[in-house]
Structure 1
Amino acid sequence: MKKNSLRTAAAVLSVVAAAGLAGCRSSNSDSAGDASKTPTVRIMVGGIDKVIYLPAMLTQQLGYFKDAGVNVKLLTEPSGASAENVLLAGQVEGVVGFYDHSITLQAQGKCVESVVQLAKVPGEAEVVSTKAASKLTSAADFKGRKLGVTSPGSSTDYLTQYLAKKNGVETADYTTVAAGAGSTFTAALQNGGIDAGMTTDPTIATVTSQGLGKVMIDMRTEEGTKAALGGLYPAASMYMDCGYVQKNPETVQKVVDAFVKTLGWISTHDASQIAAKMPKDYAAGNPDLYTQSIKDSSPMFTTDGVMPDGGPETVLDVLGTFSETVKAKKDDIDLSKTYTTKFAKAAS
């Protein structure tokens, strides 16, 4: 076995201006105690142009945050792991990222909870390069390969490790490469920096349309996720610090109201209608391809923002299989403290 190493495929630039964050102060109560003011909530998104997190910008575009009576400022970091760190530093009030971070953080003695569940499956796929596709046909073939993830400690990293171990391959048997997403992931796949990697749309659509790779394991649908992981894996969510939620229930409800309204809107509109509402630059000059990526991935979204039954247990099983942090605390994890359905149900 070789030692697992991390290699950066390309530098990923954060869209967030450091000065913008430095100028913001964390709010610990609704509108600093002034009910006459519209509350402001800063939400960090782990890749704002990723289709898995589409509800964040779509809610803004539809005007639903404003309608709900809350001023939401959307910021972005290239990965969920980076977004999580900004929340813990008190620089934002919420994160749109994978629910699994709330479990990992509880194992580390911290409390964050998903207040609205945007997706019931990861919305991700393991994409194999065209060059490697003939010999790399399943997770059982991961040994000796260079596998791309968004970043170390990200959800793509977690899921890659789980798929490997489930198929008899140890983490030390393959090389993990921090490949980012979008153009950096595509370049890594094209130039041989990775043999395969886990990513999301619209990157998946770009890679497959250009003939650079093909989908090997598809977790954008319930069927594909259950086949790969053994159950639903609730992923994209908006999570917040437990203390903030307790002190600011009215503000949290307003934000969740807006998200749930958007989820309902998605369920009643087709991909072309959804794409038309998004910023034009998200299509990267190819609106047809962007629309296709939304069509392929939109089945992942919940319609009501409520955590799916059995989902948290699957996530805990995945994390408890490989993560030493979670494994050591697995029997002590209280899943009921990692999410709440009261805001989404009230919105419904």
Structure 2
Amino acid sequence: MRTFSKISAAAVAGAMAFTLSACGGDSSADSSGKSGGKVKIMVGGLDKVIYLPAMLTQKLGYFKAEGVDVQLLTEPAGVQATTSLVSGDVQGVVGFYDHTLDLQVKGKQVESVVQFAQAPGEVEVVSNKASGDLTSPADFKGKKLGVTGLGSSTDFLTKYLAVKNAVKVSEFTPVAVGAGQTFISALKQGSIQGGMTTDPTVAQILEQKLGKVLVDMRTPEGSKAALGGLYPSSSLYMNTDWVNGHKETVQKLANAFVKTLDWMSTHSPEEIAAKMPADYQQGGKELYAKAIKDTLPMFTKDGVMPADGPRTVNDVLKAFNPNLKNARIDLAKTYTTEFVKKAAG
């Protein structure tokens, strides 16, 4: 999920060290994506339902069927995933589309090549203890609110909801608590009163009766209500120069992902859950299937960017982010439909 903080040398070094470790020091891997090499894709949390198409595509065998060797890596939040792409350590990221806008302002040309989702898939939850005086984003003032990481999309979406409801970003405290068990523990311990997270974490919080939903952005309708329109989020984004130099490989990736999105649209949550790794099913198979069911409406069926989506993202970011407020962003350069349209055809 998505960086708006300055990308430091230390962060880049950390991302590179992680990736080399995740690759098992495989120096023979050809990062060009040519035949015989690997295309490395960093995911901002492989076990998150919002990024489910990445692992599902691998499990369905669609990468292999296209003849492309994909290595999926994972980071706890998209902010680190973006750093890995900027450092040149991976060829693609499965993360939020909004990074493409932020990076353009910073002089980096990155584009979404497959748009997985048309809504954020994010949920603002509140602990039961704090639910009495935290009933809407208008009550964020003075609160400690959990986000996956500082500079992540959960961070900036929280800021947008605050600003939209007349709360200054300086009037509440975002706390980096990750997702999954670390988020749940923070909610239990009271170190946060609420926070933004995704499934399957949301399903576990509700199942354990630790809190309730404050703002639900898992559906197109929820996105429109909270953000003013469809909000393209989960995507495969890549450096534009790399895309232009490796169109055959990018087309194979698009073919594989579009097949997966189509497969998801014709199969039940239970069938989807059965394809995923068993250790993703925290809380059991039934709860995991419910988490998928609740999040499925966010996904596109063809990987195509929703027509007004980029404008909504632009409006949201400019509402609170000083780096983007007065910047001129060429939205046409932040995504391409070239590959997904060929895949669908």
Partner of 1:248: 246
Deviations 1:158-179 (A, max 9, x none): 1000000000000110011001
Q: TM-score, normalised by structure 2?
A: 0.92
Tell me, yes or no, if the aligned pair for 1:28 and 1:244 is still in contact at 8 Å: no
Partner of 2:274: 276
Q: TM-score, normalised by structure 1?
A: 0.91
Q: In 1, Cα distance between the equivalents of 2:162 and 2:28?
A: 42
Q: Alignment partner of 1:284: what SS?
A: coil
Q: Tell me how far 1:25 sits from its aligned partner.
A: 7.8
Q: Tell me how far 1:16 sits from its aligned partner.
A: 5.1
Partner of 1:346: 342
Deviations 1:112-136 (A, max 9, x none): 1000000000001000001111211
Structure 1 residues 224 and 285: alpha-carbon distance in aligned structure 2, compared to 1, 3 A threshold: closer
Q: In 1, Cα distance between the equivalents of 2:259 and 2:237?
A: 17
Deviations 1:259-300 (A, max 9, x none): 000000000001000000001111025111101100000111
Residue 84 of structure 2 is aligned to residue 86 of structure 1: yes
Structure 1 residues 327 and 26: alpha-carbon distance in aligned structure 2, compared to 1, 3 A threshold: farther
Q: In 1, Cα distance between the equivalents of 2:28 and 2:94?
A: 19
Tell me, yes or no, if the aligned pair for 2:32 and 2:39 is still in contact at 8 Å: no
Q: Tell me how far 1:157 sits from its aligned partner.
A: 0.6
Moved over 6 A (4+): none
Q: What aligned pairs does 1:60-209 form with structure 2 within 5 A after superposition?
A: 60-209=58-207
Q: Alignment partner of 2:135: what SS?
A: coil
Figure out how many residues of one structure are paired with residues of the other and give that number: 329
Residue 21 of structure 2 is aligned to residue 19 of structure 1: yes
Query: AA paired with 1:310?
Result: D
Tell me, yes or no, if the aligned pair for 2:117 and 2:300 is still in contact at 8 Å: yes
Q: In 2, Cα distance between the equivalents of 1:320 and 1:225?
A: 17
Q: Alignment partner of 1:207: what SS?
A: helix
Deviations 1:77-136 (A, max 9, x none): 001110000111111000000000000000111011000000000001000001111211
Query: AA paired with 1:333?
Result: I
Q: Tell me how far 1:225 sits from its aligned partner.
A: 0.9
Q: Alignment partner of 1:312: what SS?
A: helix
Q: Tell me how far 1:232 sits from its aligned partner.
A: 0.6
- Gaps of at least 5 residues in structure 1 are 1-12, 32-36
Query: AA paired with 1:101?
Result: H
Q: What aligned pairs does 1:281-320 form with structure 2 within 5 A after superposition?
A: 281-320=279-318
* Counterpart among 330, 336, 341 of residue 332 in structure 2: 336
Q: Tell me how far 1:26 sits from its aligned partner.
A: 8.5
Q: Alignment partner of 1:125: what SS?
A: strand
Tell me, yes or no, if the aligned pair for 2:146 and 2:177 is still in contact at 8 Å: yes
Q: Tell me how far 1:323 sits from its aligned partner.
A: 1.1
Q: Alignment partner of 2:326: what SS?
A: helix
Q: In 1, Cα distance between the equivalents of 2:214 and 2:281?
A: 24
Q: In 2, Cα distance between the equivalents of 1:40 and 1:177?
A: 36
Q: In 2, Cα distance between the equivalents of 1:140 and 1:88?
A: 36
Q: In 1, Cα distance between the equivalents of 2:340 and 2:282?
A: 33
Q: Alignment partner of 1:177: what SS?
A: strand
- Gaps of at least 5 residues in structure 2 are 1-13
Tell me, yes or no, if the aligned pair for 1:120 and 1:301 is still in contact at 8 Å: yes
